[in-house]
Chains A and B, each alone.
Chain A
Amino acid sequence: MTTRVLEVVRAGLVPYAEGLAWQRSLAQARIDRQLANDLLLLLEHPPVVTLGRNSRAAHLLSPVGLDVFEIERGGDVTFHGPGQLVGYPILDLTGHKPDLHWYLRTLEEALVTALAEIGIPAGRNPPYTGVWTRGGGRKIASIGIHVKQWVTWHGFALNVTTDLAQFERIVPCGIPGVEMTSVQREMGEGRGERDLWNAALTSVIHGFETAFGVEATVHDEVSRGAAASHPGA
């Protein structure tokens, strides 16, 4: 049996609307079997607030000056912005385990493993979805996904060097009183932002390899949509 391949695309800074259209088209291509492998898009968005299908307007406290998108992922309101590592796994779950709850938990495990690799003890905080620093302390990563015909899109947002003050404009994930944190805040000063970002990117890829049992091949994105031109296997 050969190991499944995960094509990882490091896409850099992508405007939210563009990223949304991109992942939707890739997911459709995966559903239509035009893509041979699972994909993981890793990127960063300019500041934006997104409302999941479970959002309540009251959880958006201060939207002034921010783009707001209402989208098809699970979960409540969240913030994306520079310094936050956003991952959109486009996975065909029939090749793994056709089980949404398994997928959510495995996504969490991938991030916990990644954080362990860079030296941040973290874990789950049942019944909430997402990743918290050890003991359910502070929330470091958010998760919200969408699935159609067992193909996933949307995904996770890991705060690396995110400006945490931005979260004060919302009630993150609709959980009042939740304290958000970032890799930078947990690691303390002393490491450059670029260095933290690269460490987070690398360990997230390792985390996916371990948790999902896949082999990552990493691409630095040249032209968006190029990945979609792979013929089906």
Chain B
Amino acid sequence: MSVTAIDTADVRPRFTRRRSTRRAILIWSFLAPSLLIFLLYRILPLGWNLLLSFEAWSPLKPAVFIGFDNYQEMFWDDDVFWQALWNTLGIIASAPLGIAIALGLALLVNSDIRGRDVYRTLIFLSYPLMTVAVAIIWRWMFDERVGLINFVARSLHLADQPIPFLNSFTWALPCVIAANIWQMLGFYMIIILTGLQTIPGNLYEAAEIDGANSFRRFLRITLPLLRPSLFLCFVIGMLNSVTSFDLIYVMTNGGPGHATEILVTYIYKLAFNQTRFDYAAAITVVFFMLLLAVTWAANRLSGGNVGAVEHD
């Protein structure tokens, strides 16, 4: 439909004003398909979701407005929700651990050594892989009978009995977190590496002349200048790991009990296994608010640069 407008665009309009209106329409028509996708699958769902959370509705029943009943059930009567919330917060809190390891790695692969590209590639390799396959790999690593981790632990006499990692209430969540860090590590490293490469080298030379040792140089130059990169890692890592539905669905499916249930897996189960769309929508609202709050806090701490776009 926009094609006809474009084909006539090279007929010179008489007035610049008319030309600029036509140009604006043209540019908006270039944006339209993308905007439509985002409206349909980002903005509209957000509003619909909010509406749904105040209703009692299922696909076969008409919607009834029930105010805050869903929220009341969630906060006062639903232990699983609280468990899922705590687990979600636990996973968010684990992101800095991964970022700290990645910072160390980034410093190592940023040094002037032979084969650093090979190291970078190998460390990054796990990030673009299909998470479902990663989950199966780690299920196998943590396997109670012949998993490599149990095998090593038993060979080194760290454990007398095989540990049923993914069926244990204590171990299941840390195991999922470990698998998640393993997958995200390379991504964090690349982001931090990009940050490191923007730090001007002469800062270090000046500090060296002033007699600052390498630890002080790291503390006073590297760390402050990396702050935006580190918080960017945190925000992206948080979005990625909190939403790591695939990993948990395949590794433990929220079990044992609800030991590894996170908000997203709980929302999925409520909506698509129990057809409680209305209640799941209310939990989605809380989940989204939580992400916004953490992102906002990270943004403030980093000095407000995370996600900023260069305007011209």
Q: Is B one of A's binding partners? A: no
- Interface of B with A (CB < 8 Å)? none
